[in-house]
Amino acid sequence: MGTEGPATRRVQVSEHPRLLKLKEMFKSKFGSLPKFYVRAPGRVNIIGEHIDYCGYSVLPMAIEQDMLIAVEPVKTHTLQLAKTNPLYLDFSTSANNTEIDKTKLLWHNYFLCGFKGIQEHFGLSNLPGMNCLVDGNIPPSSGLSSSSALVCCAGLATLTVLGMSLSKMKLAEICAKSEHYIGTEGGGMDQSISFLAEEGTAKLIEFSPLRATDVKLPSEAVFVIANSCVEMNKAATSHFNIRVTECRLAAKLLAKHKGLQWDEVLQLEEVQAKLGVSLEEMLLITEDALHTEPYSPEEVCRCLGISLQELRTQILSPNTQDVPIFKLCQRAKHVYSEAARVLQFKKMCEEAPDDVVPLLGELMNQSHASCRDMYECSCPELDQLVDICRKFGAQGSRLTGAGWGGCTVSIVPAAKLPGFLANVHEAYYQQSARSLVPEEQRLFATKPGGGALVFLEA
């Protein structure tokens, strides 16, 4: 699995209302017809938050909502990008000059990440142009990976225009790397599941090397996504990169404490691998080696025996240069405990005891508590929403994705679903600002969807 590229499907566009609408809009926008379509799904992370960039496995599934692009290759070397949603401005540039301006939060930058990733992978200097019309139905800035889906979709569109092929694994790696052009140091979960997802199954995604293993979710439960309606765009703040930095610093301090070659260590997983101990032992080592009081940059420097200048230039990212404190013990404890919960979750799905749903729910609840208290990536609305979800029948509920806003995911016994949806709707979405968020983007049950695809008109 994964050695092959994304599948190509022949479809009767007239039988698919969304494709048909896109085709018609494309025609009125560009005065020509698309040659093909690509889609890449968003995802919901069931468990394993903020641990992919620390080297640990995560457990997401693709959702049905996706990015869909109608594409026409052109001979002019011009890239013309537009969205079906008129709130987003059109964009046009030379295909050979795709500068990404990190200081501006513009949708087309995500497209350019995917485009550039493919260009750089093949070392191409003279790229063909294309006309692209993008239609997305993943709730934006809500932790369901709409941005990564666009990066993946753009990467696949570019590859298809070039007439080249790559495995899903390679595409996922390229897109994960190239999304860093936005300035956020995400891990590889979102792009991996967008390419490697298969309908009907969640996946355990492991890194270095990238692998995806099916995880069969219990049929007696439904996973429900609820939007807190607090928008979180991780590129707009430094929260995300601060956590990445704190984990990197924690890994280095732990390595130093254990007499390892700390300057080469970047991820918390590497410390565990080098020591050859269990995650439970890593938790004890963390408590022993790191104090819970926040570390100042000066203290970090003293511990590592480096100057402030070296810390800034060699370890910190551009938007974490002036962070005054680092909570290293709390972040590392979250990561090691969350990594263990992912493995327990998978094991329980495989063993499927009679009480599997409450057991999985308990792990999800523990995950939320750790995200809230140790990783501090929740917010009052997310905490309120998980409480509401649990009150109305969820066996477990947690924030999903980067956090600080966005969505929760809850495990709900299938028989309780209708009452659960009605009650959560009543309890959380009556407030006027929340009721303005389109209904289909607020509260919905989801099941594991398929991965990225190319569509050709039959």
**Positions marked catalytic:** 190
Q: Which is nearer to ligand GLA, 161 or 364 (CB)?
A: 364
* Residue 223 token pair: 């996973």
From residue 327, alpha-carbon distances to 196, 211, 244, 255, 296 in Å are 34, 31, 12, 17, 9
* Torsion angle in degrees (nearest 10) through CA of 292, 296, 299, 303: 60
> In the bound complex, what is the minimum distance in angstroms from residue 446's beta carbon to ligand GLA?
16
Residue with tokens 């969807």: 449
* Residue 234 token pair: 């991780």
From residue 381, alpha-carbon distances to 43, 256, 376 in Å are 21, 39, 13
**Pairing of the two strands 202-206 and 396-399:** unpaired
Residue with tokens 């995560």: 58
Q: Which is nearer to ligand GLA, 22 or 382 (CB)?
A: 382
> In the bound complex, what is the minimum distance in angstroms from residue 400's beta carbon to ligand GLA?
8
> In the bound complex, what is the minimum distance in angstroms from residue 402's beta carbon to ligand GLA?
4
* Residue 411 token pair: 């495990």
Q: Peptide bond preceding 297: is omega within 30 degrees of 0, i.e. cis?
A: no
Q: How distant is the alpha carbon of residue 21 from its chain centre?
A: 28
Count the helices and strands in the chain (H runs, E runs).
Answer: 15, 13
* Residue 422 token pair: 């009605």
Q: Which is nearer to ligand GLA, 135 or 185 (CB)?
A: 185
Cα separation, 50 vs 47, in Å, equals 10
Cα separation, 157 vs 111, in Å, equals 10
Q: Which is nearer to ligand GLA, 158 or 194 (CB)?
A: 194
* Residue 90 token pair: 């059109």
Interface residues with ligand GLA (CB under 6 A)? 45, 49-50, 52-53, 145, 186-187, 189-190, 401-402
Q: Which is nearer to ligand GLA, 279 or 402 (CB)?
A: 402
Q: Which is nearer to ligand GLA, 37 or 345 (CB)?
A: 345
Give one DSSP letter per residue of 55-68, joined into a string: T--BEEEEEEEEEE
Q: Which is nearer to ligand GLA, 37 or 53 (CB)?
A: 53
How many CA atoms lie within 13 Å of 89's alpha carbon, on the beta-carbon side? 5
Q: Which is nearer to ligand GLA, 207 or 392 (CB)?
A: 207
* Residue 215 token pair: 């995880």
Residues 6+ apart with CB under 8 A from 87: none
> In the bound complex, what is the minimum distance in angstroms from residue 339's beta carbon to ligand GLA?
12
Handedness of CA 431, 436, 439, 445 (dihedral sign): negative
From residue 437, alpha-carbon distances to 56, 142, 228, 428, 456 in Å are 34, 11, 10, 12, 33
Residue nearest to ligand GLA (CB): 186
> In the bound complex, what is the minimum distance in angstroms from residue 401's beta carbon to ligand GLA?
5
> In the bound complex, what is the minimum distance in angstroms from residue 453's beta carbon to ligand GLA?
22
